[in-house]
Amino acid sequence: MRETRARIADLVIRSAVAADIDSVRDIYRHASLTNKADHDLIAAHPEWLVWDDSLLPFVHVAVSQGRVVGFATARPVDDFLELEDLFIDPECMRQGVASALIAVIASRGMRIEVSANHARAFYESAGFVVVGSVSSNGGSLLRMRLDAAGA
């Protein structure tokens, strides 16, 4: 049974700044390790736990009580946004942070695409639909899309 937590009431979503990089790196690493099924694959590829600082201009952070609790990276590609990252501090998961980040990105009114693994249920709950699959170094991933035009 899934644990249900209250939503974070004071959540603020804003563009990331250089001072957020350490928090983003920490969340990326800790959240990546929450899925025990990925541990062997991550152990074989420790470089996957290193967040790419060059993505900072495309990052939105979720802040609660002055602390970064999650982030999303949405990079423009052709006529859509590629959701590169969506990571939440494990202590703040299932409190509406990821949904708030998706809502802010969707408010740009562009289609959003993502290659998803175990997060399929979340993405579907946020309105994404499966449009295919892609191969990655970690195996097959679902290709999902959210038509945010007019959002």
Give dist(CA 112, CA 63) in Å, integer: 22
Residue 151, domain member (yes or no): no
Q: Kindly tell me if the per-residue pLDDT of 104 is higher than 60.
A: yes
Within a domain: residue 78? yes
CA–CA distance, 102 with 113 (Å, rounded to integer) = 11
Mean pLDDT of 73-81: 95
In-domain check, residue 80:
yes
Domain count, the chain: 1
DSSP of 92-110, one letter per residue? GTTSSHHHHHHHHHHTT-S
Q: How confident is the model at residue 138 (pLDDT cuts 50, 70, 90)?
A: low
Region 86-112: mean pLDDT is 95
- Model confidence at 125, pLDDT cuts 50, 70, 90, reads very high
- CATH number of the domain within which 127 lies: 3.40.630.30
pLDDT higher than threshold 50 for residue 3: no
- Residue 3 domain-assigned (yes or no): no
Residue 93 lies in a domain: yes
User: Residue 151 pLDDT more than 60?
Assistant: no
Please check whether residue 123 lies inside any domain of the structure: yes
**Structural domain boundaries enclosing 16:** 11-146
Average pLDDT over every residue of 30-35: 77
Residue 1 resides in a domain: no
Q: Strands (DSSP E) along 1-151, which ranges?
A: 12-15, 59-64, 67-77, 80-88, 111-116, 129-136, 139-146
pLDDT band at 7 (very low <50, low <70, confident <90, very high): confident
Residue 5 maps to a domain:
no
- What pLDDT sits at residue 114? 96
pLDDT value, residue 111 = 96
Segment 39-61, tens digit of pLDDT: 566 666 566 667 788 999 999 99
